[in-house]
Amino acid sequence: MWGIVPAAGIGSRIQPLAFSKELLPVGSRLDAGIERPCAVSEYLVERMVRGGADKICFVIAPGKSDILEYFGGSYGGAATVYAVQPKPAGLCDAIFCAAPLIGPSETVVIGLPDTVWFPTEGFSALPDDRLSFLLFPVDRPEFFDAVVLGEGDDVIEIQVKRQGADSQWIWGAFKLPGRVLHELHALWRVRDRADEYIGTLVNAWLAVGGKACGVKSGTAYVDVGTLNGYRAAIGLLSEAAGNGELSDPDARFAPAWPSHRSARNARYREAAV
């Protein structure tokens, strides 16, 4: 199984930083019994590995060699490789930089490396044989990509950052077969590569007969791309530690902040925007 990590963005909302935004320290982790800072992108990669990924492709910009230096050739038992997005051209362009590496029979998981979400086993809740979105409830869906579902949890529409969105559920990660990734890639090229967001491309794919489903298994989601989101992520990790979500012997991550600083997930979701 492949994991694609689109990590070529400049992180303008949280700059200036002296390093790539995907390496922003958020909380800590235990490494051979020693606590050390944890880069925000590790949370996504760790969830991909938990979900079965044994190959991770980081899509990076030409100047982001620090990500390569940080992750090296493997992470958590998964091999890591790197593809270059020559210039920032949106999420679809970044994802499809990894398409030549992926066979049609392989499974792919995709997420955003500047987010922290729970449960950690979220990718395992998604089916392997179709395009499926891991959904999270939020208070302000207009800041995200809201997913409207029909009967049987089929996706009807993805509303990209729309005021008055018709759903409180947003996608935070997704899984799909390699053949579907290549179908989306082909459609994106036919549409003159005009789709910046995955939501608009999926809407076009649904319009020509494609199928996707949404799985409402997400419990908490924070975008760490802003200072408010950064603070919310610290609180969310503390809440998770207090609730025992990080107490699994296999869990890598130590509490990020004293538990008295924690708050409810609804507050995290609101603070993140």
Residue reference for tokens 């609730």: 243
CATH number of the CATH domain containing 163: 3.90.550.10
Number of domains in the chain: 1
- The confidence score (pLDDT) of residue 184 equals 98
Residue reference for tokens 């392997």: 128
In terms of residue numbers, what domain contains 136? Answer: 2-11+21-271
Let me know if residue 16 belongs to a domain: no
Q: What is the mean pLDDT of each run of 10 residues along the chain (273 residues)?
A: 90 59 87 87 97 98 94 96 94 98 98 96 97 97 96 96 97 98 98 97 98 97 86 85 52 32 36 45
| Residues 6+ away with beta carbon under 8 Å from 254 | 27, 28, 29, 30, 35, 241, 246
**Element spanning 7, H or E:** strand 2-7
* Token code pair at residue 83: 């593809």
Say what the pTM is. 0.86
Let me know if residue 151 belongs to a domain: yes
From residue 60, alpha-carbon distances to 118, 123, 225, 252 in Å are: 25, 23, 17, 25
Let me know if residue 51 belongs to a domain: yes
Q: Are strands 55-60 and 2-7 parallel, antiparallel or unpaired?
A: parallel
